[in-house]
Structure 1
Amino acid sequence: MARYTGPKTKISRIFGEPILGNGKYLGKNSNPPGQHGMTRKRKTLGEYALQLREKQKAKYTYGVLERQFRGTFQEAARRKGATGENLIKLLEARLDNTVYRLGLAASRPAARQLVSHKHITVNGHVVNVPSYQLTPGDIISITQRTADSEALMGQVKGKNPKINWLDWNEGELKGTFVAYPERESVPENIREQLIVELYSK
């Protein structure tokens, strides 16, 4: 399975946001990467550059490569409603992202690894596909061997109460994908309309 394995801080410096980590180095060196940093001649980005930048931000945030991202966008365009909001809903409904939102992993890459290594079940069945699309009512849990592992269970921090489209039962270690999230509930700083404009060219 392809995924980005390069330097995370470099990507965060491109966008000026800690989209791939805690961003602890952004304060020391917040200039864009490259030999010239902010001293490049063209300091204002054009329309296409802004749209492309927003698409790249969404891809890196959710850990999706180009072909899969385009497929997700096409599915969002087929559905009823605003394409941009549908895109965010589909990205949030990915299994790896949901595992991260439930607090079972500290980051999306860590959540992806949990799924790939068969630590996660959906409706009682082991699913090892990080891009698996959840639907409302699906129950996400961890396998028994994971529950018996102190190292893995030590990483469980619980769900953020602001994530209101997921329900987490700490006693049973089970989460429920209640509904697709509304756009205003998703904390990611992504201007999805720019992505729609980019793919509409």
Structure 2
Amino acid sequence: MARYTGPMTKKSRRLGVDLVGGDAAYERRPYPPGQHGRARIKESEYRTQLQEKQKARFTYGVLEKQFHNYYTEASRRPGKTGDNLLQLLECRLDNVVYRAGFARTRRHARQLVTHGHFRVNGKKVDIPSFQVTQHDVIDVREKSLEMTPFIVARETHGERVVPAWMEALPNRMRILIHQTPVRQQIDVPVQEQLIVEFYSKK
């Protein structure tokens, strides 16, 4: 399955959640697109569960097969499967770059990572799905520091709220991972238990 690269506002309206963050177009029309977008749709249990899965998948920009692999890994770990799933998604390198305020959106962060602009613990990493862990240090590569996206990130960093489980140092373009995030620290509008129920029936 190809990665979705279409208009995110339209996808946000269909799923009923701002997938980008600060999407003014979605805020103006937060109902599904189309002629009957404002009509109330009777939702089945399956549809509700599927919609929650799609919310999480499109929020983090993950393909269906990869998302299922995350669920499988989450179910193997001790603790709540739903919490584990969101933790795995939140610890993706592209998401960390976005959360730290070094990219405008997760899609933008994915591009920056893929183009090789970051090092993790001194080693170049260009895999967006790379899992960061406690005590990791993520740096923008020295030769990339004066690129426009990173200049903008330094100048506008005060506008972003960085999660407590990490620390962003915009003057050095560095991210410190202080801990693995717990559910209360993951600010995504997703009911993860519905995702667990969706997969448990398969």
Q: What is the TM-score with the length of structure 2 in the denominator?
A: 0.90
Point out where structure 2 has 5 or more consecutive residues left out of the alignment.
none
- Structure 2: distance between partners of 1:33 and 1:150: 34
- Structure 2: distance between partners of 1:36 and 1:161: 36
- Structure 1: distance between partners of 2:166 and 2:28: 36
Counterpart check, 1:190 vs 2:195: no
Q: Give the superposition deviation at 1:6.
A: 0.8
Taking the TM superposition and a 5 Å limit, the aligned residue runs for 1:24-173 are: 24-39=24-39, 43-156=41-154, 157-158=156-157, 160-161=160-161, 163-173=163-173
In terms of fraction of residues, the more helix-rich structure is 2
Matched-pair identity in %: 44
- Structure 2: distance between partners of 1:180 and 1:120: 20
Counterpart check, 1:15 vs 2:15: yes
Q: Give the superposition deviation at 1:21.
A: 4.6
- Structure 2: distance between partners of 1:60 and 1:150: 27
Q: Give the superposition deviation at 1:15.
A: 2.4
Point out where structure 1 has 5 or more consecutive residues left out of the alignment.
none
- Structure 2: distance between partners of 1:131 and 1:56: 18
SS at 1:167 equivalent: strand
Change (3 A) 1:171 1:32: closer
Is the CA contact 1:93–1:135 (under 8 Å) kept in the aligned structure 2? yes
SS at 2:193 equivalent: helix
Root mean square deviation, CA, Å = 1.9
Q: Deviations for 1:42-86, whole angstroms, at most 9, x for unmatched residues?
A: x22011100000000000000001000000111111111000000
Q: What is the TM-score with the length of structure 1 in the denominator?
A: 0.91
Change (3 A) 1:49 1:150: closer
